[in-house]
Amino acid sequence: MTRYVIVGNGVAGVAAISSLRALEGSAEIVQVAEDARGFYSRPGLAYYLTDEIPEKMLTIYTKDDWRKLKTRFVKGVVTTINPQKHQVEFGALGKLSYDRLLLATGSTAVPAAVPGAALQGVVKLDDFDDSRRIISLARRAKTAVVLGGGIIALELVEGLKARGVKVHYFLRGKRYWPNVLDEAESRLLEQRLAEDGVTLHFQTEAAEILGKSGKVIAVRTTRGETIRCEMVAVGIGVKLRLELAKAAGLATDKGILTDENMRTSQPDIFAAGDVAQVRDPVSGQAFIDTLWYPAREKGRIAALNMTGRKIPYQRKVSVNVLRLAGVMTTIIGAVGSGVDDDLVSVARGSSESWQQLPNTIAMESNMDVNHVRLMIGENTLLGAMVMGEQKLSLPLQEIISSKVDISSIRHLLHPGAPLGQIIMDFWESLKS
């Protein structure tokens, strides 16, 4: 009987287990993870923090679901992989052999590298226990400092604010999330945060977290200020868990390198989820995708190939639907600072007040949020940002993912062009 060992209990690992069981009803499947809590929605933690959903809604699989999957769970930390002996080791807990091994170890929060980072009251948002700890501390805290410039930091800001804590938000740069948002988008979100009572500190970092009796009492900044607080929430980024793979001699770069079948440099070891850096057979480049849907799809494809099939992972246009400072936002494809310099960025908002910027047509509004930005290649749309009203999200997803030739609507670049109507009419014409 084939034994499949899955390391990790995130979406990639669980998708692999589900697919393996569907393909091989009698195979032995063993899941190894540190967290015995099981599979839950990591994206849902943000809404748990803001008290919008109850704890029970984070659970995705019921006990009945797990029984049907007939998976043996081993609580523990894999310390060593021995590819030659086909074994994983748990230190004092012993060893486990495998026929096929899947590494779905994911990522972990980067800690604050400042004095005082180990004090009680310094928190992160990595897992369910972290969210519980934050909620517990927030009951007694009056003020918190949040560090970081991306999605997780903003989730911490909004979660603490919803719990009645006064929030000071430190941003290293001149604006929020500059590698993804344009200036107008950053300012829009910053304004909403300020209106909600959040104090923003630009170009500010923590120099030291001050404590008394082992607990946080203040943060001293790189600008020489001292902000008194009882909590410091850290959301400065994540790092992939590569230690096991590197120690086992697997090929790594930013992630664990795999071919298009999710196979690593060791033929019986596969990788999936955030940690997998997958080679695209078309471009020859290796990519990392850290969103929920790609992680799940990688797990499914890895399972298919672990059973002997040869099914390539096909990288799709990324779609990230999230809420930023209360604004529903969909990010599709390439919109950040790392995209091709030859692209043209076009943005539209709700009013008819336009301002011309280098390579950008931006539009600002004092009305309800309704903002669209497109990244336009030579003949196709390569990316889009849709904030507020989401009517254009589905049309843009389909146009971008299908790489539709948009030569016939290049007039959307003209200042004052009715962007939304042009996109909707074009999309409708594609369906007819």
The answer on pLDDT for 367 being more than 50 is no
pLDDT of 349 reads: 44
Burial of 197 (0-12, 13-18, 19+ CB in 10 A): exposed
The answer on pLDDT for 358 being more than 70 is no
Q: How confident is the model at residue 345 (pLDDT cuts 50, 70, 90)?
A: very low
The answer on pLDDT for 351 being more than 70 is no
In sequence order, the 6+-apart residues with CB closer than 8 A to the CB of 63 are: none
Strand ranges of the sheet holding 71-75, from the earlier edge strand across to the other edge: 71-75, 28-33, 3-7, 100-103, 269-271
pTM of the model: 0.90
Q: What are residue 152's phi and psi, to 5 degrees?
A: -65, -40
Which residues are paired to 123 by β-bridges?
Answer: 233
- Helix (H) or strand (E) holding 216, with range, is strand 215-221
Which residue type occupies 21? R
pLDDT of 38 reads: 79
The answer on pLDDT for 361 being more than 70 is no
CA distance 123 to 132: 11
Q: How confident is the model at residue 34 (pLDDT cuts 50, 70, 90)?
A: confident
The answer on pLDDT for 342 being more than 80 is no
User: C-alpha angle 29/31/35, rounded to 5°?
Assistant: 160
The answer on pLDDT for 45 being more than 70 is yes
pLDDT of 364 reads: 38
Question: Cβ distance 254 to 86 under 8 Å?
Answer: no
Mean pLDDT, residues 156-173: 97
Mean pLDDT, residues 141-150: 96
SS3 292: helix
Mean pLDDT, residues 375-392: 90
Q: How much of the chain, in percent, has pLDDT values that exceed 90?
A: 73
Q: How confident is the model at residue 91 (pLDDT cuts 50, 70, 90)?
A: confident
CA distance 189 to 185: 6
Mean pLDDT, residues 243-259: 96
Joined tokens for residue 289:
């995708």
The answer on pLDDT for 343 being more than 80 is no
Mean pLDDT, residues 298-322: 94
Mean pLDDT, residues 369-378: 87
pLDDT in tens, 3-17: 999 999 999 999 999
Mean pLDDT, residues 375-394: 90
More confidently predicted of 226 and 357 = 226
Question: Cβ distance 74 to 30 under 8 Å?
Answer: yes
Mean pLDDT, residues 350-379: 54
Which residues are paired to 384 by β-bridges?
Answer: 332, 374
Distances (CA, A) of 182 to 117, 195, 228, 369, 428: 32, 20, 32, 15, 29
Q: How confident is the model at residue 132 (pLDDT cuts 50, 70, 90)?
A: very high
Residue 61 backbone class (left: φ over 0; alpha: ψ -120 to 50; beta: rest):
beta
Smallest CA-to-CA distance from 193 within 138, 155, 228 is with: 155
pLDDT of 280 reads: 83
Q: Which long-range contacts (CB under 8 A, 24 or more apart) does 175-179 make?
A: 175/202, 176/149, 177/149, 177/150, 177/151, 178/149, 178/337, 179/336, 179/337, 179/338
More confidently predicted of 372 and 299 = 299
The answer on pLDDT for 278 being more than 90 is yes
The answer on pLDDT for 362 being more than 50 is no
Round the average pLDDT of the chain to a whole number and report it: 89
Mean pLDDT, residues 8-28: 95
- Helix (H) or strand (E) holding 305, with range, is helix 292-306
Domains of the chain, start order: 3-106+241-306 (3.50.50.60), 122-236 (3.50.50.60), 319-431 (3.30.390.30)
